[in-house]
Amino acid sequence: MIIPDVETPSMWIDTHCHLDAGEFARDTDAVRQRARAAGVLHCVLPAVLPANFEAVRALAHRHADSYALGIHPLCTGEAGEEDLALLDRALAAARDDPRLVAVGEIGLDYFVPGLDAAKQEYFYREQLRLARRHALPVLLHVRRSADGLLRELRRTPVGGIAHAFNGSLQQAHEFVKLGLRLGFGGTVTYERALQIRRLARELPLEALVLETDAPDIPPRWLYRTAEERAAGQPQGRNEPGELPAIGAVLAQLRGLPVDELAAATTRNAGEALPRLAALLASGTGN
């Protein structure tokens, strides 16, 4: 695969990066330094359960990034009321922390088998209410669940970002109407991802933000098929430093200069996450 040749523009924002993941445990600081050298001046680090609240907070402060606190739908199976109470207390304790920018990663996942849909929906509703209570936007997990997410957002309106958006064009417009931005990452680099690439081309530019979801959703130049892996070719690790190359693909799809795309998605990220905008404006977010 050919990796796009990218000249580093003024600023890229990775709006969804799991820098606390085990895949980065041995070289977290080096990963973040590579990203910064590539032009990724800010990352948003979402939590997935109370056990990693402190990890994302500490990393955000260490690297002048920002973080979100929430319970991921894939983690709701083992979660209980005490976890919602922990989240409420953590959000209250961090109310004056400018690096806390959202409640997330929360949402619904109707793709993974064996999950309790009703329990997911309960945790999603309760976390939307917590976001409203603490005056924060949300980072939403969307997988075969756009209609369910939209239904609850209409009842409990909050802004934020629909991460790794993969719904229909009509659903995309409904999220945008409700004031959310849509996250695009490595999937747009695959030529066969026709629906995602259509959305990336046709949605209003002001609706788009960029993300890596690192270490997940690798771009095409890091991906290895099962046959390639069996032949000894290792799967490349997705890192936040891949964002400029992903952005270059999106810019090409839209027929835009790369620096214009970077500036627009940075502005959109700040509009979706007002505390992030304040960090960037103050110079403490890069």
Domain assignment of residue 52, given as a range: 12-281
Global pTM exceeds 0.85: yes
Identify the CA nearest to 124 among candidates 97, 150, 98, 144: 150
- Does residue 134 sit within a domain? yes
> Please, which residues bridge with residue 69 across strands?
103
- Does residue 68 sit within a domain? yes
Q: What is the pLDDT along the chain (286 residues), one digit of tens a residue?
A: 344 555 544 589 999 999 999 999 999 999 999 999 999 999 999 999 999 999 999 999 999 999 999 999 999 999 999 999 999 999 999 999 999 999 999 999 999 999 999 999 999 999 999 999 999 999 999 999 999 999 999 999 999 999 999 999 999 999 999 999 999 999 999 999 999 999 999 999 999 999 999 999 999 999 988 888 888 888 889 999 999 999 999 999 999 999 999 999 999 999 999 999 999 999 888 8
- Does residue 171 sit within a domain? yes
Residue type, 128: L
Q: What secondary structure does DSSP assign to 123-166, as a single string?
A: HHHHHHHHHHHTT--EEEEEES-HHHHHHHHHHS---EEEET--
Rg over alpha carbons for the chain, rounded to the nearest Å, is 18
How many separate domains does the chain show? 1
Q: What beta strand segments (E) does the chain contain?
A: 12-14, 40-46, 66-69, 100-109, 138-143, 160-163, 180-184, 208-210
CATH number at residue 183: 3.20.20.140
Residue type, 124: Y
- Does residue 1 sit within a domain? no
- Does residue 103 sit within a domain? yes
- Does residue 2 sit within a domain? no
